[in-house]
Chain A
């Protein structure tokens, strides 16, 4: 990703003293996001009397959990300095192969294995091309994005796969306890695992090291290629899981399934404070960003705002949230001079 940077000519700003921990915590990205989330939540509950209801709050989680699951792995991948634009196409291919298996009478456990396995293999394919052949990930995954969804189109054409077994419906429609859906529970558990891996293990530190300076990381004895390969596999795996959930929720497969999700997933990750240039970011921000996007889509939906107009808000949110800290920093730097 570093080749797409625009600030490689600007000198890197080195802080001359460290801020106090409390102040740093108050000004942190996560707090800013949390404030935005709370603001949207309050605005929603004022705007619509139907918003503050356990079941409608539960419903709103369905429109982001699948994307957010992919965003967790994508965050790690982007922190390591790579990107995967093929995630939505992996969903399409996984879903198509699951649909195909249904025609041969494969049961629910088999379908889940096929869906997740396909995702893992697609991720491994991306990872091999990037790490073994040393190709830029943005181009490789633009290519595999066409390739994976293209295979779905070859298999399905303009057709549709239906007839998933009823037990398969649990993953996308079932509830674990009261209003907590299986999808939400899975997302929260997975987010906790990703938080632990990225922030509490040496594997996580290695991802940051690679993203900050992959040459230095290589000289420090890190297996850069191997770690990046694992991250591509993880992203593929999460896309496979998302494919299982989405297919189960919709109950049908078309080749255009999840079209355009790659951009929404990346928006979620960047909004969550992960630097698109690699080397910085955290899981907590991504989780809050996922909730922000879910809250906003759902709230605007309650107000009968069409989906396409919501995308204006998503786009502006992305640009403003990134531009504001840059403007503030510039103002603060300008003052002493």
Chain B
């Protein structure tokens, strides 16, 4: 029980539950299953992207190009769908994943082989990927009537009371949980971030691990690109504009340390859900949606202050144990 109270994921969950309870006092419909399923559906893409970003941040890097990658991959599959309406949807999802991975790999290569700081690399590729959307689409939009019904149907279908999009997110969360806790690769992401020198000594190729992290975030962005375009049934240059910072916000609120090496799948998911709950709760309690931005800004600041305090405390505790041992 005491260990549970120390976990920041627990506190974040408590904050989310408390917020939902407060909102439900005003409007009981908010915590009905249908409304909860709706929140999950709205947050699904953010959850997936936050997990991809988490892996990158864990290795002491940052990926600012995720939203641009999402928009470009989404545009590519939308154009494929127009050109070859007969292509089965799984092929398109696979194409989006491969294309997104390639864009992520380009970031990763620059970081790994040329040692350019990730923030500079992804700042550059962010603008390049956005510009490429304009070039490949010739500046035009892809609208709902140009997409096939099958293309739009996948994220909207539902199974067992929640949307297929939500099931997709749940599947991705499960995969990430296995990756981060049950595979050597997952552990090497943590090792690379917490102490790159020590990681090198135990035989982890730090540069290569960062490269793989960028491939992972790229793949997630690619798949999310298809899901986003199919869900909103429109593709244009500014799809998910500025979303890269929302993704990072979800990670920071979820307790993932921007200094690398600290963070968990549960944290990233809860951080994303927190933002989703706030977005969905504002109209319910009659607060103008224009408050949303300021509230998420405040949440980021509070989260980072809280995280900094718990991280500092943990450092002291380790020292005490060392003294006892001696």
Q: Which residues of A contact B (CB under 8 A)?
A: 1, 3-10, 129, 133-136, 138-140, 142-151, 153-154, 156-158, 255, 259-260, 263, 266-267, 270, 276-277, 306, 308-312, 314-316, 318-319, 322-323, 326-327
B130 at the interface (CB under 8 A from A): yes
Say whether A150 contacts B128, CB under 8 Å: no
- A316:B128 contact, CB within 8 angstroms: yes
Least distance between A183 CB and chain B CB atoms (Å): 24
The CA of A309 and the CA of B295, in the complex, are separated in Å by 34
| Closest Cβ neighbor of A311 among chain B residues | B127
Bound complex: CA A10 to CA B207 (Å): 10
* Contact A267 B61, beta carbon cutoff 8 Å: no
Whether the Cβ atoms of A319 and B125 lie closer than 8 Å is yes
- Do A318 and B115 touch (CB < 8 A)? no
Chain B positions 271 through 296: 1 when the CB is less than 8 Å from some CB of chain A, otherwise 0: 00000000000000000101111111
B84 to chain A, nearest CB (A): 26
User: Are the CB atoms of B124 and A153 closer together than 8 Å?
Assistant: no
B28 proximal to A (CB < 8 A): no
A133 touches B260 (CB 8 A): no
Q: Which residue of A lies closest to B248 (CB)?
A: A142
Inter-chain contact B290/A142, CB cutoff 8 Å: no
- Please tell me if the beta carbons of A308 and B200 are within 8 angstroms of each other in the complex: no
Question: When the two chains form their complex, are residues A9 and B300 in contact, meaning their CB atoms are under 8 A apart?
Answer: no
Instruction: Flag B235-258 by CB within 8 Å of A: 1 or 0 each.
Output: 001000010010011001000001
Residue of A nearest to B210 (CB): A6
Asked whether A4 lies within 8 Å of B124 as measured between CB atoms, the reply is: no
Whether the pair B293, A315 counts as a contact (CB closer than 8 A) is no
| Bound form: Cα–Cα A5–B112 in Å | 11
B207:A154 contact, CB within 8 angstroms: no
From known contacts A146-B249, A315-B128, infer whether A7 and B115 are also in contact, taking CB-CB under 8 Å. Answer: yes
Offer 13 A-B interface pairs, CB within 8 angstroms, sorted by A. A129-B301, A136-B304, A139-B300, A147-B294, A150-B297, A153-B294, A154-B288, A154-B291, A157-B288, A309-B131, A312-B127, A312-B128, A312-B135
CB pair B128–A9 under 8 Å, yes or no, is no
Per-residue interface assignment for chain B, residues 190 to 212, with 1 indicating a CB less than 8 Å from any chain A CB and 0 otherwise:
00000011001000001100100
Does any Cβ of A come within 8 Å of B179's Cβ?
no
Partner of A3, one of B60, B135, B245: B60
Q: Is the CB of B301 within 8 A of A6?
A: no
Closest to B299 in A: A143
A315 touches B297 (CB 8 A): no
| Majority-rule SS of B interface residues | helix
Q: Knowing A6-B61, A146-B296 are in contact, say whether A308-B237 is a contact too (CB < 8 A).
A: yes
Q: How far is the CA of A124 from the CA of B120 in the complex (A)?
A: 26
Q: Contact at B124–A316, with CB atoms within 8 Å? A: yes
Partner of A6, one of B64, B116, B237: B116
A146 to B117, CA, bound (A): 24
Contacts of A158 in B (CB 8 A): 290
What CA separation (Å) do A6 and B248 show in the bound complex?
Answer: 19
Asked if B51 is an interface residue, CB under 8 A from chain A, the answer is: no
Q: Are B110 and A323 in contact (CB under 8 A)?
A: yes
Cβ-defined contact, A143 with B300, below 8 A = yes
- Is the CB–CB distance between A8 and B126 below 8 Å? no
- A148-B308 contact, Cβ under 8 Å, with A157-B288, A326-B116: no
B301 touching A140 by the CB < 8 A rule? yes
- Which residues of A are found within 8 Å of B200, using beta-carbon distances? 9
B: which residues have CB within 8 A of A?
Answer: 60-62, 64, 110-112, 114-121, 123-128, 130-135, 139, 196-197, 200, 206-207, 210, 237, 242, 245, 248-249, 252, 258-260, 288, 290-298, 300-301, 304-305, 308
Kindly identify which residue among A4, A7, A259 contacts B119, using a CB–CB cutoff of 8 Å. Answer: A4
Most buried by A among B128, B242, B260: B128
Q: What residues of chain B lie closer than 8 Å to A146, measured between beta carbons?
A: 245, 249, 293-294, 296-297, 300
7 smallest CB-CB distances across A and B, nearest first, come from: A150-B294, A146-B297, A147-B297, A312-B131, A150-B293, A143-B300, A315-B127
Which residues of B have CB within 8 Å of A312?
Answer: 127-128, 131-132, 135
Give A181 to B213 CA distance when docked, in angstroms: 48
Within 8 Å CB of A315, what residues of B?
123-128, 131
Chain B nearest Cβ from A303, distance in angstroms: 15
Chain A CB within 10 Å, residue with most, of B128, B130, B297: B297
| Other-chain contact of B297, A4, A136, A145 (Cβ < 8 Å) | A145
Residue contact A136 to B296, C-beta cutoff 8 Å: no
Distance in angstroms between the alpha carbons of A174 and B111 in the assembled complex: 45
Residue in A1, A138, A144, A323 whose CB lies within 8 Å of B114: A323
In this complex, the member of A153, A270, A311 whose beta carbon has the largest number of chain B beta carbons within 10 angstroms is: A311
Q: Are B305 and A135 in contact (CB under 8 A)?
A: yes
A311 engages B130 (CB within 8 Å): yes
> Residues of B contacting A316 with CB < 8 Å?
124, 128
Q: B131 contacts A142, CB within 8 Å? A: no
Contact call B120/A3, Cβ cutoff below 8 A:
no
Q: Are A318 and B300 in contact (CB under 8 A)?
A: no
Most chain B beta-carbon contacts within 10 A, residue among A151, A277, A312: A312
Contact B304 A9 (CB under 8 A): no
Give A189 Cβ to nearest chain B Cβ, in Å.
Answer: 29
Complex formed: what's the CA distance from A327 to B110 in Å?
Answer: 11
Taking a contact as CB atoms under 8 Å apart, the answer to whether B252 and A270 are in contact is: no
Closest Cβ–Cβ distance, residue A251 to chain B (whole Å): 23
The answer to whether A263 and B127 touch (CB under 8 A), given A140-B304, A309-B135, is yes
Q: How far is the CA of A154 from the CA of B294 in the complex (A)?
A: 8
